[in-house]
Amino acid sequence: MKKMISIAVALMLLVSVGIATAGEYKGKAIKARLASEEIEGDFMTVWANNFSDHMKKWSGGKIDINVYPYGTLGALGDINELCQMGVVEYVFSDYAWISSFVPQAQVLALNYLFPTEKVPEVLDWMARNGEFMPLMEKAFRKNGLVPLSIMFEGWQWVTSKKPINSLEDMEGLKLRLMSSKLLVEDYKAYGAAPTPMDYGEVYSGLQMGLIDAQVNPLFAIYSMKFYEVQNCCTQLKSEPFVGIPTVNQKFFDNLPAEVQQEIRKFWIDAIIPAGKWITERNASDMAKMKKAKPDLKFTVLDEATIPTFKKKAETVYPKYIKIGGEGSQEMLDAVLKDIENAKKALGIK
């Protein structure tokens, strides 16, 4: 009888511990702002809202995070600076736009680093087991920021008025990119004439002929309607678009340990589900673009041509060391090592 009572008490204790760790936050109320680099309904803003909802539920309503989509708090460079200054507590940006503050993050912009399959799973493995994330956090912290995850938003596509089937088709192409010295070098290596430009200026730039082409993931090409003023979409299989949810260091370090832990857990646990979400979204948006503009051509660079692009891309790797600055060689070595170890763990050839 005593044994049965002991077991019952033990089970009750386990249940009570489980409930407590599941989200009975007893700390003070916290209000924060999160600036997203994408419009309402696109990946970063959707997952920022998911994060806000999760933290509110987990804390019993005590943690309130307001999400500001692209354009509501300034241009893409502005929102990263606002987070660094602590004007907003969080920013969801990418490896390119945040590079003005953390140049080492541009390692993720190097082309032909990642396998063409299971990218979310690779990023998840890297975030949980690799050497790269601690190094990236070290670099971010030197600039008053803390990275929380690395998230796949689909592969980058080049949209243009003429088909791209070879390096010759890239020659002299006036191509809009995000603001990143390394991205400029990536596409210069292919023979293009890259031009950094703010997100909100791309449509008019294409329409007026200031640029011939631009690079973005499919959901952005659809939601920003770039396809309306382009004829072709080409996937070089070179560059996954990676988002980096980031928090102001001073704000984060002053949060209770349990809140810090829950924030990190949410963003790491979101990598694979978010990858599934965006894969489905991109497929849906491609279908919508085909329906809206039947003569729009979608092309994936063929396997015989990819090595010619990859060879050119690899000439940029040494340039990253100079552009990335302090610790960039260690960062590149860690990324390459993590990707190889992830591929082995996941059975990717």
The whole-angstrom separation of Cα 66 and Cα 177 is 29
Going from the C-alpha of 281 to that of each of 36, 76, 89, 160, the distances in angstroms are: 18, 23, 28, 22
Q: pLDDT tens digits, residue range 278-302?
A: 999 999 999 999 999 999 999 999 9
Residue 22 lies inside a defined structural domain of this protein = no
Going from the C-alpha of 272 to that of each of 15, 126, 130, 201, 315, the distances in angstroms are: 29, 12, 16, 32, 31
Enclosing domain of residue 157:
27-346
Residue 259 lies inside a defined structural domain of this protein = yes
Q: What's the structural domain count of the chain?
A: 1
Asked whether residue 14 carries a pLDDT value surpassing 80, the answer given is no
* Main-chain phi, psi angles of 341, to 5 degrees: -70, -35
Going from the C-alpha of 302 to that of each of 123, 165, 240, 305, the distances in angstroms are: 25, 8, 17, 6
Residue 11 lies inside a defined structural domain of this protein = no
Q: pLDDT tens digits, residue range 213-252?
A: 999 999 999 999 999 999 999 999 999 999 999 999 999 9
Going from the C-alpha of 157 to that of each of 56, 209, 232, 299, the distances in angstroms are: 36, 19, 10, 9
The whole-angstrom separation of Cα 252 and Cα 245 is 13
Asked whether residue 10 carries a pLDDT value surpassing 70, the answer given is no
Judged by average pLDDT, the poorest of 11-15, 18-22, 91-95 is 11-15
Residues with Cβ within 8 Å of residue 2, at least 6 apart in sequence: none
Residue 17 lies inside a defined structural domain of this protein = no
Residue 69 lies inside a defined structural domain of this protein = yes
Residue 168 lies inside a defined structural domain of this protein = yes
What does the pLDDT read at residue 23? 56
Asked whether residue 100 carries a pLDDT value surpassing 90, the answer given is no
Q: What is the mean pLDDT of residues 114-143?
A: 97
Residue 2 lies inside a defined structural domain of this protein = no
What does the pLDDT read at residue 278? 97
Q: pLDDT tens digits, residue range 193-222?
A: 999 888 889 999 999 999 999 999 999 999
The strand ranges marked E within the chain are 30-36, 63-68, 90-94, 145-147, 151-160, 174-177, 193-196, 213-217, 232-235, 240-248, 297-300
Cα dihedral 192, 198, 200, 205 in deg (nearest 10)? -40
Percent of the chain with pLDDT over 90: 86
Q: What is the CATH number of the domain that holds 259?
A: 3.40.190.170
Residue 10 lies inside a defined structural domain of this protein = no
What does the pLDDT read at residue 9? 35
